[in-house]
Structure 1
Amino acid sequence: MDVCRDVSPATHEPCNAANSCALIEDEIARSCALFDGDGAPMKGCGTDPKGSQAAADVVRRYYSAIDARDYATAWTQWGDDGRPGQTFAAFKKGFAHTRSTRVSVGALKPGEAGAGSIYQEVPVTVEATLDDGTRQRFAGTYVIRRVNGVDGAFASQLRWHIDSAVLKPASGG
């Protein structure tokens, strides 16, 4: 939320029902990725847009958007076309009864390069509360991907996005 306030010239809260903080943070991350290395660092670009922390931030924005019921922003964390093999309507319906989530990111290992891309594994524990108060807990890994400065790459390919996820029910709470 502080980043939203820092970069917004508006006289009212930039993060609101029409503009979730996840949306604002996503726009900032997109801009940081586009202008990385070109001139002075942009305000709000404290995290290296090519680094593992920026990859982990994708997962954090994903759950922040879900919490804000900003499913469009959550959807685009999977890339321009959303989650592969799923329609936006099905994606949104999958979270229809989710009241809130909390994601904890584990220790990040160095990313791996392959075929012009960088892949960063992001270990997570996700706690979800449903509308009826039921609590769920999942553990697993998101794989976050970005193109590694390949000539001709589109702007959307140069930023981190979710490539895949494997989450399983976990015990504890």
Structure 2
Amino acid sequence: MVLLFALSLAAGAAIDRTPAQARDVVARYYAALDRGAYRTAYALWDRGGQASGQRYADFVRGFARTARTRVVAGMPQGPEGAAGSSYITVPVRVYATLKNGADQRFVGTYTLRRVNDVPGATASQRSWHLASAKLHQIG
């Protein structure tokens, strides 16, 4: 079952732990992209944006032609644990409109990571962050 989430930007709990909160991170990511809040979107990637695989300037350039986005997030799969972290996968459909009016559609998944409640882990580390994305363009 696929759910369309309202892209709420209200601050939730201090620590995102639940599958629904992981899905909300994906929604917040696309809401930030849609507003042009690239610093906010980049910060939702693990390790301060490094998990995106891009430097911040390249990340911003990657969205230079995008006018707006919308995401439909499915039910999270997991979580699974490994070496002090939990991982969860969120299936998505992404709809983007370019500044020239062309529409693009993507389908795939985001994997999110959070550090388990281990001594010394910060609240930020214990919250969900984007760890990887597997998206491909359709139609």
TM > 0.5: yes
Which digits, 9 at most, give the CA deviation of each residue in 1:98-146, with x for residues without a partner? 0010100112223111111110100000010000000000000000110
1:112 is the counterpart of 2:94? no
Which digits, 9 at most, give the CA deviation of each residue in 1:20-71, with x for residues without a partner? x74xx3xx24x521xxxxxxxxxxxxxxx31101001111000000000000
Question: Is the helix fraction higher in 1 or 2?
Answer: 1
Question: Is the strand fraction higher in 1 or 2?
Answer: 2
Q: How far apart, in 1, do the equivalents of 2:50 and 2:22 lie?
A: 17
- Written as runs of structure 1 = structure 2, the 5 A alignment for 1:70-81 is 70-81=37-48
- Tell whether the 8 Å contact from 1:79 to 1:156 is kept in structure 2 after alignment: no
- Tell whether the 8 Å contact from 2:74 to 2:91 is kept in structure 1 after alignment: yes
Q: How far apart, in 2, do the equivalents of 1:157 and 1:32 lie?
A: 11
Name 2:95's counterpart in structure 1: 127
Percent of matched pairs sharing the same residue: 46
- Written as runs of structure 1 = structure 2, the 5 A alignment for 1:96-111 is 96-111=64-79
RMSD: 1.5
Q: In the alignment, residue 158 of structure 1 is paired with which amino acid?
A: R
- Written as runs of structure 1 = structure 2, the 5 A alignment for 1:8-47 is 22=9, 25=10, 28-29=11-12, 32-33=14-15
* Shift >6 Å, 4+ stretches: none
1:80 Cα deviation (Å)? 4.7
Structure 1 residue ranges without an equivalent (≥5):
1-20, 34-48
Work out which of the two has the higher radius of gyration on C-alpha atoms and give 1 or 2: 1
Taking structure 1 as the reference length, the TM-score comes to: 0.71
Q: RCO higher in 1 or 2 (8 Å CA, sep ≥ 6)?
A: 2
Aligned length: 131
